[in-house]
Amino acid sequence: MSNIQEINRRRTFGIVSHPDAGKTTLTEKLLLFGGAIRVAGAVKSNKIKKGATSDFMEIERQRGISVATSVMGFEYGDYKVNILDTPGHQDFQEDTFRTLTAVDSVIIVIDAAKGVEPQTEKLMNVCRMRKTPVIVFINKMDRPAQDTFTLLDEVEEQLKIKVRPLSWPINNGPDFKGVYNLFDRSLKFFNPNIQEIEEGMKFEDLAHPDLENHIGDDADVLREEVELVEGVYPEFNHEAYLAGDLAPVFFGSALYNFGVQELLDSFVRIAPTPRAKEAEERVVEPLEEKFTGFVFKIHANIDPNHRSRIAFVKVCSGRFERNKMYTHTRLNKSFRISSPTAFMASKKETVDEAYPGDIIGVPDTGNFIIGDTLTEGEKIHYKGLPSFSPEMFRYVENADPMKSKQLNKGIDQLMDEGVAQLFTSVFNGRKIIGTVGQLQFEVIQYRLEHEYGAKCLFEPLSMHKACWIECEDEAILTEFKKRKHQKMAKDKRGRDVFMADSMFILQMAQSDFPDIKFHFTSEF
């Protein structure tokens, strides 16, 4: 198969949602259709021992939430599908933001009862910024839900995108009877006792009296609603979808496997093939002959028995080949990658080649950081993988002096993953961990103990903001660092960071030193 054929059959997408909208359950069911797993894991109940395939870290299984992005690939018909299941919890949104740089399209999962939630809006803003095509899956139709038109209005208003339903629900909650597929004009009946996939019944003409025999009194309601849909919403326009201006909408229940196959079948037909990627120097097209890729995630201890560390690389152009020499542009060094892997969550297998759209795992001994670019020699740097200024800060202390080596190694590796950010105070040399939310501290503490055998304590630190600073005038920068000595720190890469106690202190510093630039993301 030629490079062009391989590229055109790839579909790489992320699944995003607010916590508990059913995102990981949907991922499981998609994997089930792809034949990648035989039994879908139970994500919700801690009593059920079979965990979700995409939640492969021990803490994820215990909590019933995703705290790290998982990468899973499978073959579906003529297509190679790569899914990136992201954390829904807002404390881990940075991992999700970075993941969105590695996907070509997105499926947004919305709870039919709760509608659009704040976290979903934030993620949609990132998609809009990058013009990423979006499909909406409205989940949990088997439970009492909002009015369907109200839901769609909410999606349009809050996600700021036009919608086009490609399926339509017949009732919801206990009265949910199924969906009418507007794409291929067929009826699909919902039966909570049967989770096997049943073929939809072709129904071109809703005016036919036979409709009553199948859905009874709901026939007239369905006719009216479908007529309203056809009159109110624009025709599905493939170009508008690819441009990120129109979101097709599907309805179903991931828990009962209902509506998932329609979603997957439509997705592989309409979703974009691997897209061009913007580098600082130029735009890189997937059909280019030479390989390029970038690191969007690092995971330490993917196999705790071997303390292995993996850099996740998204292939952007050309063809990746095992054992070939590639250039690490930041270090200006060449590496031979002898055991690249493809993923099925925590299961991985060695691959000999990969194409644009694929995600490969590269064993890492500390050479990679998030955002690094690999090429066949060309000096290019891919853009857009910032770390954001943390909102919560704690001093980190060793709880077991006999394990200081393990603690330092653990913190070092976890910070490289982007789980949180590490700062070292210039004033007293103490290590400070900064996060977006409280849950990250719990995850760090848990993983240090269970993966590295080290225990740590966190000491509260009242801090408003960490700002990266730079100035063209070295004398002004030196004067600032001298005056703010007690509040200065270095990040993991040795860059100057000003730790402001309060908004007032920050504003005063900006006012007193107008020539200094204060940055709130690490990429500047």
The superfamily (CATH) of domain 277-375 is P-loop containing nucleotide triphosphate hydrolases (3.40.50.300)
Domain limits, the chain? 3-270, 277-375, 392-519
Contact 489, 423 (CB under 8 A): yes
Q: Is the model's pLDDT at 306 over the cut of 60?
A: no
| Superfamily of domain 3-270, CATH level 4 | P-loop containing nucleotide triphosphate hydrolases (3.40.50.300)
Residue 505 has pLDDT above 60, yes or no: yes
Least confident of 115-119, 196-200, 353-357: 196-200
What is the model's pLDDT at position 476? Answer: 95
Q: Do domains 3-270 and 277-375 have the same CATH topology?
A: yes
Chain centre to alpha carbon of residue 455: 29
Of 150 and 215, the one with more pLDDT: 150
**What is the per-residue pLDDT across 278-290, written as a single tens digit (0 to 9) for each?**
999 999 999 999 9
Task: List, in order, residues 6 or more apart from 410 with CB less than 8 Å away.
Answer: 447, 448, 451, 452, 454
The whole-angstrom distance between residue 453's C-alpha and the CA centroid of its chain comes to: 29
Q: Is the confidence at residue 51, as pLDDT, over 50?
A: no
pLDDT tens column, 389-441: 787 899 999 999 899 999 998 898 888 777 788 999 999 999 999 987 787 88
Among the listed residues 439, 190, 419, 194, the one whose alpha carbon sits nearest the alpha carbon of residue 301: 419
pLDDT band at 94 (very low <50, low <70, confident <90, very high): low
The hierarchical CATH code for the domain 392-519 is 3.30.70.3280
pTM of the prediction? 0.77
d(CA 443, CA 450): 10
State the greatest distance between any 2 C-alpha atoms of the chain, in Å, as a whole number.
85
